[in-house]
Amino acid sequence: MRTQIAAANWKMNLTLPQAEALLQQLIEAPIQLHEHQQVVLAVPAPYLHRMVQLLNGKPGFQVAAQNCYAQKSGAFTGETSVEMLVSIGVTHVVIGHSERREYFLESNQLLAQKVSIALEYGLTPIFCCGEPLAIREANTQNEWVAKQLQESLYHMSADQLKKVVIAYEPIWAIGTGKTASSEQAQDIHAFIRSQLSHQYGASLAAEIPVLYGGSVKASNAAELFHQTDVDGGLVGGASLQAVEFTAIIQALK
């Protein structure tokens, strides 16, 4: 079975004491992960090292950065390199979240560079793709997502792609309370897998975890996650509540 992942994106939320309290609640929650299941916590940059320390190698739990820079080092004030992230025990990095694309104008080409450097240093990229409302209403979401995959991922070898997690996030459903139906989620996840299959072969495409992100909560997680091609979720607001996120983790198949 493909790796099933409950990924939390805390975004720009919580003070350090609040973050520590939330993590402690998750550590103490009745969560029993199977070998094919993971919990990945994408926390604000100032808290990365502290969260790694608090987890203390807890099986199945990993810490992710919410972003990284596309260069190894240098005069880039305010940025964080992948080498820095690896040095403090971070294992994953979210790349291409819709908020980075929209607010910081990150292009598919820039994201391709970030994916490459993350892999070079052994970080697992959680690569985000997905369409805005206008594209969905025009029913051209497949073409939109296909271009994102092509321009940001297809420069990689098959061996490199095996180390990537993809997160599909319908931008119109992020933080809006709207959620793609389980059928809509399955349809686009199956399309993403078909595109990977066309480029890299069916065997490899069947190995890549594809997560759903967009107003995932305890009440809809099980239905979403049990779709054939949905391998968990990238969870925003609901991940800030220990009870809610615990239920989402428990919904993994």
Q: Which residues are catalytic?
A: 97, 169
CA–CA distance, 33 with 39 (Å, rounded to integer)? 9
CA–CA distance, 235 with 8 (Å, rounded to integer)? 5
For strands 4-9 and 165-168, give the pairing.
unpaired
CA–CA distance, 189 with 180 (Å, rounded to integer)? 12
Q: Which two tokens stand for residue 120?
A: 């070079």
CA–CA distance, 151 with 169 (Å, rounded to integer)? 17
CA–CA distance, 14 with 212 (Å, rounded to integer)? 24
- Helix, strand or coil, per DSSP, at residue 97: coil
